[in-house]
Copies of this chain bind each other. A is one copy, B any other.
Amino acid sequence: MFASERSWPPEAIATLARMPDRHTLEETERAMKDHVGALPLDFAAANALSNLFRAANAVRSELTNRVLRQHDMTWTGFVVLWVVWIWDGMETRHVAESADISKATLTGVVKTLEARGLIAREGDDNDRRLVRLRLTPEGISLMEQIYPEFNAVESEIIGQLSERKVATFTKTLRDVVNAVEGRDED
């Protein structure tokens, strides 16, 4: 019924991750109803979350391509570096949690950053299970150069929104996080 013999241009395609405009949204709803039948679906929720992922991916790509790539830095590598930069000597499990990656992933990322001489692993005398992370002078120097560039692009993106919108936006995002992780404080 749809798109079997017609080639849809990418801009006109609405999916879980892409839902550019209203017209395509309606078409997607119609296409979905053909597949899911009479089941009651929450299209507003699906649309909101698909835009959430789309925005996160777009911003991440933009920052990677415009800032990180010329320093031969991956997204995760930069985030880890930033965390350790701000919280010098932090234990690995806290770094992993702050960077929103697993401990297993952090091990590999630190290995990469260590090989490049940007980060250093350091044992803890009081608890020899722990490993603390620190930036080398080269790592510090690199962050002092990259982060202002990074934040400038962040500012350029968010600057398109009014100050009040940014505040509301940030609060709603936190509401979403709280809705997922369950709440105790605040």
Residues of A whose CB lies within 8 Å of any CB of B are 2-4, 7-8, 10-11, 13, 15-18, 20-21, 28, 31-32, 35-36, 39, 41-42, 44-49, 51-62, 79, 82-83, 85-91, 94, 97-100, 140, 143-144, 147-148, 151-152, 154-155, 157-161, 163, 165-170, 172-181, 185-186
Contacts and interface: CB of A to CB of B under 8 A. Distances in A.
17 contacts: A3-B89, A4-B88, A7-B94, A15-B79, A15-B98, A32-B86, A35-B86, A45-B157, A45-B158, A48-B166, A53-B59, A53-B100, A58-B181, A59-B180, A157-B176, A169-B169, A172-B172
Contacts of A159: 42, 45
Stoichiometry (number of copies): 2
A134 to B, nearest CB: 10
A71 to B, nearest CB: 16
Contact of A36 (B17, B28, B147, B152): B147
Nearest to A148: B39
A58 to B, nearest CB: 4
Contact of A59 (B10, B28, B176): B176
Contacts of A32: 86
